[in-house]
Amino acid sequence: MNIVHRARHFVQSLREQARRSIWDWQRCPYCGGTHTCRWGSYERRPWTLEGRQTVCVPRHRCCACHRTYSEQSPWLVRRSWYAREVHRCAIDFWQHGGTSLRRAADFVRSFIGRQERYLLWCISALRPLGEECRLAASTVHRWLDRAGREAELTLPGQLEGIGSSGCMGTDGLWSRLRGGTKAVVLALVDNATGLLWPPVVVAGEESEQSWREMLERAVGAGFDLDRLRGVVSDGANGLIGCLHEMAKWANQQRCVWHLWRKLGGELARQVSKVGVGLFGAAAKAARERVRRELVALIHGVLDARSQEEAEAALVRLKAHQLGAGLARQLEECLDAALIHLNAYNRGLARVAPEWLWRDFRLRLSRGRNHGTGVRLERAALVWAIYHNFTPAQSRCERKRRYRRPGQSPLEVAGVPPGEISYLDALAV
Ligand SMILES: [Zn+2]
């Protein structure tokens, strides 16, 4: 059952619960017998988005098996002081709002209790006479962790039956955990749809084992390794070894942005040799001219439209009086930098998908305060599901443009979730 089916199933079950009539509740949930009688009731006082409410929960007793049971309600969460809508609101505040746990709790508390910040928003509001809401950050953290556990349960077959373009990108995000240990979140994303396969948390990105774990998790979630054609990433060696072992037919494209950054040092060294006998503006102008020449030559190599064009540009770079060192560095990774030109790898991006950490790092802690590796992984799994279900914004200013505004990665991949959200998928 993939994640969309799971979410639909959850919504369906809540709707069914809401539709249950008095007669339905007379059937014993333990033995299925209908010979039952009312057995009193008890009161619950859950916090909802409209404030604290009092609800009367009727109980029943089965005459056949002598057990008692109470009527369930889809909007109440068992053993919680807060209604389902408050759980969903708080998790969404943290995940979609990109805030810290403390602030998420602060906002939700203010809103439902008409207290604290609410008094800043509404000048004419009076201080509440009733009870004060005491929702704490640790409670929100517990709810999030519960959502993470649910996300772990969805791992087998999470994206089963959802097509993949075979052109993937991968990247890692380093985190410092409690006690000074470090861990890295590795994620695999489809270039064409932006669909994120479930991430893993590993100790480092140098070993083959780490990348193998990432691919194995994707395969477990329904990824067809035979369809993999290419992966774009920064120059992590472990990935090359891992691909060689698990998917010999797939190529690795080196991230062009990282190559530029790597060449930066050598470029600066060469440029500094220029204008030795000159002073002030004259030296500066000479350096600027040489830098522009060298950058244009490197562009010629990296942005070539065919292998031959790139090789011709490399010869030109080598012929430049200061270009030999740069040409040597480029030559080493030329093939890996031009993989996207192969007909076999059509559609592969040239840069590693660093953009995908944007949501994850929006929080005050930059998404890094999960303490232990297990919790970090749960947070990453929740985030991946959120990302797949959430439509990209429709923005029209020049600064930032989304490839598919208003569409979620699942929709682009051909499985539109419709009214179903990530909160349903996480059974919150
Ligand atoms: Zn019974």
- C-alpha 71 – ligand 1 centre gap (Å): 14
Residue 5 and residue 222: Cα distance in Å, rounded? 14
CA 70 to ligand 1 centroid distance, Å = 12
pTM value is 0.90
Cα separation, 111 vs 124, whole angstroms:
15
Mean pLDDT of 14-25: 92
21 CA → ligand 1 middle, Å: 18
Please measure the distance between the N-terminal and C-terminal CA atoms of the chain and give it in whole angstroms. Answer: 18
Asked if the model's pLDDT at residue 126 lies above 70, the reply is yes
Above 80 in pLDDT, residue 367? no
Give the pLDDT score at 399. 67
141-164 tens-digit pLDDT? 999 999 999 999 999 999 998 888
At 411, the amino acid letter reads E
Q: How far is the CA of 13 from the centre of ligand 1 (A)?
A: 22
| Residue 365 binned pLDDT confidence (cut-offs 50, 70, 90) | low
324-332 CB contacts, 8 Å cutoff, 24+ apart = 325/266, 325/269, 325/270, 326/263, 326/266, 326/267, 326/270, 326/294, 326/297, 326/298, 329/262, 329/263, 329/266, 330/259, 330/263, 330/298, 330/301, 330/302
| Closest alpha carbon to 153 in 386, 359, 375, 382 | 382
pLDDT at 49: 93
State in Å: Cα 16 to ligand 1 middle.
Answer: 21
Quote the ligand 1 centre to 60 CA distance (angstroms): 10
Distance (Å) from CA 24 to ligand 1 centroid:
13
Q: Read off the DSSP letter of residue 346.
A: T
Is the pLDDT score of 213 beyond 90? yes
Q: From the CA of 41, how far away is ligand 1's center (Å)?
A: 18
Distance 427 CA to ligand 1 centre (A): 28
In this predicted model, what pLDDT tens digit does every residue of 220-261 receive, in sequence order?
999 999 989 999 998 788 888 888 888 889 888 889 898 899
* Of the ranges 56-70, 121-135, 330-344, the best mean pLDDT one: 56-70
Average predicted confidence (pLDDT) for the chain: 89
**Rounded distance from Cα 68 to ligand 1 centre (Å):** 8
**Three-class SS state of 388:** helix
CA of 45 to the centre of ligand 1 (A): 28
pLDDT score of 129 more than 80: no
293 has pLDDT over 70: yes
Nearest to 200 by CA among 374, 351, 390, 353: 374
The yes-or-no verdict on residue 364 having pLDDT over 70 is no
User: How far is ligand 1, taken at its centre, from the CA of residue 79, in Å?
Assistant: 23
35 alpha carbon – ligand 1 mean position (Å): 8
* Ligand 1 centroid to residue 23 C-alpha, Å: 15
- In this prediction, residues 50-67 reach a mean pLDDT of 93
Residue 338, pLDDT score: 85
How far, in Å, is the centroid of ligand 1 from the Cα of 82? 30
Predicted confidence (pLDDT) at residue 206 exceeds the cutoff of 90: no
Q: What is the pLDDT of residue 366?
A: 64
Rg of the chain over all Cα atoms, to the nearest angstrom = 28
Asked if pLDDT for residue 395 goes beyond 80, the answer is no
Q: In the chain, what percentage of residues exceed pLDDT 90?
A: 47
